[in-house]
A and B are shown apart, each in its own frame.
Chain A
Amino acid sequence: MSLEFTLPPPKFKSRKGFMDFLGDLVTETVEEEVEAETIEETRGRPRELKTYIMESNNGAKIQNVTSLIASQLPTDLPEVSILRLEYAGRSAMFYMDAIDTRFLVLYTNDLADVTDVLYNRLVQSTSNKFDKIWLPTEMLDTISHLSGNIFRGFGLMFDDLFIPEEREEQPIHELTMSVTGSSSAEALEALNQREKLRRSLSRSMIRVRRGNTTSFVTDELRFTGRLITKSGASVDDHVSLVETTRTTYRNLIEKVEKNSIGTKRVEGRTQVEGQAFELTLERQIEDLDLFADRLLTPDLPFRLWGLRNEVSKDARHIVAVDLHTGDPLDLEITPSLIRVYIHQESCGNTLLRLYTNLQHAFDSAIRFNGEKIGAV
């Protein structure tokens, strides 16, 4: 089902009405993992429910977007609006739930290869302050093992962006893999035991089943915050997983932003607060200048620009800007450590984007303040 504005748009007079509508977007299927695999793996089956969790520093109102045609219609629910996006002759409808105005949830049942393109254009539009969410490997693992979730698969994606071009011998340069089914946990455990692979096991997605034998859903959650229903029809379980992901991520972002560097006024006094974050590396940085160069390449996923300074033989200071938000940040890099200073009123997502992408492009065993990120 795909609606155009030429048809009367749904009004959603109640939350139940909205949930029922989302339920209609999920195609009823029998749980058959094998069946799902025969269809396009990463795009989701046509007309299945897809959900994007989008970070916003601008609330839920879509500003003028120069990169695509966007129209937004209100519904009777103040937090829900209908968004039609169009670019290069392709269009899709999204149903946007802004119950949390910092983390907006966009539901759609249009084709994933269309909705992905449109969503990316929306997120990149500079007039809006949107970003994807960036789920680190350990957070995906935590979510997959939360109460009510059954781990049914995982994807790996590692592409080393930091090796010198002339070097041919490299432990692991690239690794992409997808494993689904009830034995996925054993498969992952086996991979974890391979020393050669341990720094390349960054998760691109997890597959999770929720519900019971009669009402369930199996979702694929990507590290960029996209969920696709792979089998089952329980919209309640799907939305519940969306909520869990959103709140887990929100809690982490709030902790990050609480530690930003800046000042606050307390009873007429100006106090200085904040602390740098430490990303500890298991894989040593061999060439700090090469590392800095790659980190500051605008086209790469880190999206940083910066001026660098040699503090000492073993330390570089990068005075940087997040190209996505324009926020300033400072990085101090040594062979085994990256200190990140997020400035007050800057977006915590900057840090999570850097950390998560370093997992996929440098070292999946990277740690946040010496711990797994759940311990922040």
Chain B
Amino acid sequence: MHLTLQYGLMVKKLEPCNHTKLMNYIIGMCKKHKDWVSVLADLGYELQLIEQQIRTSSEDTVKPDIVVASNRLLHSVVFECKGGITLDVEQLKRYSSLSSDNLRRWITVFTPESIQFDVCIGDLEENHHFIARMNREFPMITFANDKIFKTGEFKLNQLNAAFKEPISLKGKIAPLSYYSFCEEDKDDYIALFVLRGLVSVAIKNAKGGPSAFEESIITRDDLVKLIFNPVFDALSREHQARLKAKIKDVIRLVMTREEMKGALEAIEEAKGYKISRPLEKFLKEAYQFISFLQTQRPLTEFVKQNPDG
């Protein structure tokens, strides 16, 4: 599918990866949104952690993608999101040794000593057949195009009741911006956020911020969070490092394109006045850049082969 864009440019529709989708779907269920399912929010669940490493009773480590908790139910759900077709069986075993004691160190509820929890696998219908075969122990929440359905049983009855019947997604619009992007996303999708970040930095440069040409915008975690990904510091250390590398790859490639570089320089030099033209220029170049990325191999390979840019 193609979309007509400003200045007559065309880019293919940009799809987030399955992991990014699942993360947003589940986080979105903890929010009260008009056009999305609020089943978890209705039970009092709030998002607490993303990718938090937790030591289990058997001295193993688990790293759930999402942990939510409800003060009302004194209950937590520990989500493992599976966007692909594989499931690490050893990983599931490690979840078996996760206890309330292990979990209460990390979540905030009024009476943590009473907290109970369920582990839940989140997946997509297209892969459900494969994932379900490998998981017999934990309940699953599956997202299809038109519905959400449950497989297996939660320990908590209220959750079983809430997901007893498939939940229709007719007319629903999934949120996509709670968890902007992850290392699994394609370069073109990540580029959307990186290019936006560069424009943001260039405009803020006039207000005393760093320049879009400074290394610090990608080396300093606080700046990466502010500029590129608002939940960056909730990600695991390893994920942060890999994500930074991807962002850096995109920026390096942007800086090899004289037109884009020139437009960014012009935005910074204009100090906020008469920036319409360079912004227009950068926009046009940005769409061309994204189109270019869509035709390329993953950028990591490209940059490796062209280390000097």
Contacts and interface: CB of A to CB of B under 8 A. Distances in A.
Interface of A: 58, 66-67, 124-129, 261-263, 266, 269-276, 278, 280, 289, 293, 296, 298-299, 305-312, 314-315, 317, 319-321, 323, 325-328, 330, 332, 334, 337, 339, 341, 343-345, 370
23 contacts: A124-B273, A126-B271, A126-B272, A127-B206, A263-B230, A263-B231, A271-B108, A271-B234, A289-B4, A293-B6, A307-B196, A308-B5, A319-B192, A321-B196, A325-B203, A326-B201, A326-B204, A326-B207, A328-B197, A330-B176, A330-B177, A332-B175, A334-B173
Contacts of B207: 58, 126-129, 326
Contacts of B180: 330
B70 to A, nearest CB: 15
The prevalent SS among residues of A at the interface is strand
B202 to A, nearest CB: 8
Contacts of A273: 47
A314 B35 CA distance: 12
A339 B177 contact: yes
Contacts of A269: 49, 52, 106, 108
A341 B24 CA distance: 13
A58 B176 CA distance: 32
A326 B177 contact: no
B196 A319 contact: yes
Nearest to B33: A278
Interface in B165-209: 173, 175-178, 180, 192-193, 195-197, 199-204, 206-209
A127 B207 CA distance: 5
A278 B177 CA distance: 13
- Listed residue (A269, A328, A337) with the most chain B CB atoms within 10 angstroms of its CB: A328
B177 to A, nearest CB: 4
Contacts of B34: 278, 280, 337, 370
A319 to B, nearest CB: 5
A124 B273 CA distance: 9
B14 interface: yes
Given A262-B230, A307-B192, A311-B173, 16 more contacts: A67-B273, A127-B208, A263-B231, A270-B234, A271-B48, A272-B234, A274-B178, A289-B4, A296-B6, A311-B176, A319-B193, A326-B209, A328-B200, A328-B227, A337-B173, A339-B33
A97 to B, nearest CB: 23
A272 B176 contact: no
Interface of B: 1, 3-6, 13-14, 27, 31-35, 47-50, 52, 106, 108, 173, 175-178, 180, 192-193, 195-197, 199-204, 206-209, 225-227, 230-231, 233-234, 271-273, 275-276, 279-280, 283, 286-287, 290
Contacts of B31: 275-276
B47 A272 contact: yes
B233 A332 contact: no
Nearest to A289: B4
List of 7 A-B pairs having minimum Cβ-Cβ separation, nearest first: A126-B272, A326-B203, A326-B204, A330-B177, A126-B206, A310-B3, A341-B177
Contacts of A262: 225, 230-231
A263 to B, nearest CB: 5
A366 to B, nearest CB: 13
Contacts of B50: 270, 272
B303 to A, nearest CB: 22
B175 A270 contact: no
Contacts of A314: 173
A49 to B, nearest CB: 31
B143 to A, nearest CB: 15
Nearest to B209: A326
A323 B195 CA distance: 14
Contacts of A263: 225, 230-231, 233-234
A332 B173 contact: yes
Contacts of A296: 6
B232 to A, nearest CB: 8
A272 B33 CA distance: 17
Contacts of A343: 226, 230
A289 B4 CA distance: 8
Contacts of A274: 178, 230
A289 B209 CA distance: 33
Contacts of A307: 192, 195-196, 283, 286-287, 290
Contacts of A125: 272
A310 to B, nearest CB: 4
Nearest to B14: A309
Contacts of A270: 49-50, 52, 233-234
Nearest to A266: B108
- Listed residue (A280, A309, A317, A337) with the most chain B CB atoms within 10 angstroms of its CB: A309
A261 B226 contact: no
Contacts of B204: 325-326
A213 to B, nearest CB: 49
